[in-house]
Amino acid sequence: MCSVAGLEERFHSFDLPFISRHLIHQAHLGEKWMQRNRMRAGVERGEVQIGTWLTTVQNPNILMLLKSAGLDFARVDMEHTALSIETVGQMAAMARALDFPIAVRPPAANREWITRLLDVGVWNIHCPQVETAAQAAEIVTASRYAPMGLRGNGGLSAATEFNPLGTVAERRAFANREVFITVMLETGGAFEHLDTIAAMPGIDALTLGPADLAQDLGVFGTPDQARVLDEKRDLILAAARKHGKTCAMLCSSPEQVEQWRTAGALLLAYSSDTEMLYQGFSTAVKRLKG
């Protein structure tokens, strides 16, 4: 377990070159270095990115469709679906080939799942049920190589695009810079630790899980639900601004997208494949059947 201060020391002491003269020389020879994580690059430029959840469709070709439709990313749910690690690995390969990022929510935000997802080529991990700063520190430790963390070493793999360019140190430095970690606060207790979680070096974005949070707070399905959740979203936004982190939001309507985009959230997940398919077919069937 690592404290906030310990992680800050790791991050500030890490000074390996991003791309060495050796890699620049190889680039001149036409050899390709690994591509950047498009989601992180967009965040660094301050761009608003709009995506959707994938909860039903498991064919990796869905990513081509979503990109063609104009979306910026897909958020793949393993927590509440039957998606396997093999399928997610295929999606990660398609995502890199398309330069269309996916973020994956694992069943649990532990070392086993974080390691497996990173090793199959996932850049962006959406960590559920984060309650404390200690848990956030464990997530950072699992997702970054030393000296930032203690990520397991998988060797040449989909995570490195099977690319042998550069030294091991350079590939690890690249991975540490490109991985993007979002944590989900989903209980009232988690919000008691919001400031220390947001301050954690290596945590890149903050969000909440609206349904689970509403349930924990006792307002799920009540007239107070929308108001209480908006109050918690405001707290997330304030903590993100204070600590220089990104804010991600799940939006169920175009109006919510506009609301939270205006408020400063950069990563906006609108609806899901399941909801869009249901709405599309149910609307069509009503017209077809009269």
Direct distance between the N- and C-terminal alpha carbons of the chain, in angstroms, rounded to an integer: 62
Q: How many CA atoms lie within 13 A of 144 on its CB side?
A: 27
d(CA 165, CA 35): 12
Q: What angle do CA 41, 47, 261 make, to 5 degrees?
A: 140
Q: At what angle do helices 111-119 and 85-98 cross, to 10 degrees?
A: 40
Catalytic status, residue 25: no
Task: Give all strands (DSSP E) within 158-274, no chain letters.
Answer: 180-185, 205-208, 246-251, 267-272
Rounded to the nearest 10 degrees, what angle do helices 111-119 and 133-143 cross at? Answer: 30
Catalytic residue selected from 12, 22, 25, 80: 80
Strand ranges (DSSP E) for 78-229? 102-105, 124-127, 180-185, 205-208
Indicate which residues carry an active-site annotation.
80
